[in-house]
């Protein structure tokens, strides 16, 4: 049985001094609670174009009581089957922590890019050697210190 890696991006950024403890907790909570918008899911799935989303939003401005997905079906842009699939996907889809950090400008882009590269290295090392742990270390050249866990 594989143990889930509990080092998420928000914790990693906090450990590197790029996010406060409060900001990291907020990012974690928002990532867990915020769902992707149905229009975003339909575009990602290729069911709608951005132009169609704009048309639907214009129609929704005229009829704010009608939901986006319903309007998409009424306008003939998607089928009810596509809407149902997107709604199922929405129930399990959450915003990624990276998206929240970027959108809110919590970490300067250049620093975030560098930290993300280090985070990916950490995930790759953890996948290759599950007993390996990595913690931030100001003294090392790459900012990481590794060692075998006692688990």
3-state secondary structure of 141: coil
At 128 the pLDDT is 78
The first and second tokens of residue 32, run together, are 């867990």
pLDDT in tens, 67-97: 999 999 999 999 999 999 999 999 888 888 9
Give pairs for 60-69: CB < 8 Å, separation 24+. Answer: 67/38, 68/37, 68/38, 68/39, 69/38, 69/42
Counting DSSP H helices and E strands in the chain, the numbers are 8, 2
At 131 the pLDDT is 56
- pTM exceeds 0.75 for this model: no
At 92 the pLDDT is 86
Distance CA 132, CA 149 (A): 6
At 3 the pLDDT is 42
Distance CA 12, CA 6 (A): 10
Each residue's pLDDT, cut to its tens digit, for the chain (151 residues) gives 344 445 789 999 999 999 999 999 999 999 988 888 999 999 999 999 999 999 999 999 999 999 999 999 999 999 999 999 999 999 888 888 999 999 999 999 999 999 999 999 998 888 877 555 545 444 444 444 444 444 3
What are the boundaries of each domain within the chain? 9-34+95-148, 38-92
Distance CA 120, CA 107 (A): 17
How many residues would you count in the chain? 151
CA 75 to chain centre: 30
At 140 the pLDDT is 45
């Amino acid at each position: 049985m594989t143990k889930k890696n509990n080092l998420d991006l928000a914790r990693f950024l906090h450990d590197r001094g790029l996010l406060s403890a409060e900001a990291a907790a907020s990012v974690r909570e928002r990532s867990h609670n915020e769902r992707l918008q149905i229009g975003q899911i339909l575009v990602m799935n290729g069911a709608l174009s951005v132009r169609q989303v704009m048309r639907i939003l214009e129609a929704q401005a005229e009829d704010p009581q009608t939901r986006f997905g319903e309007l998409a079906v009424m306008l003939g842009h998607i089928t009810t089957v596509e809407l149902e699939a997107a709604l199922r996907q929405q129930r399990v889809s959450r915003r990624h922590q990276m998206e929240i950090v970027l959108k809110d400008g919590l970490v300067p882009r250049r620093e975030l890019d560098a930290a993300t590269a280090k985070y990916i290295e950490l995930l790759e090392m953890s996948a290759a050697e599950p007993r390996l742990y990595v913690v931030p270390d100001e003294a090392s050249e790459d900012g990481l210190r590794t060692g075998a866990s006692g688990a």
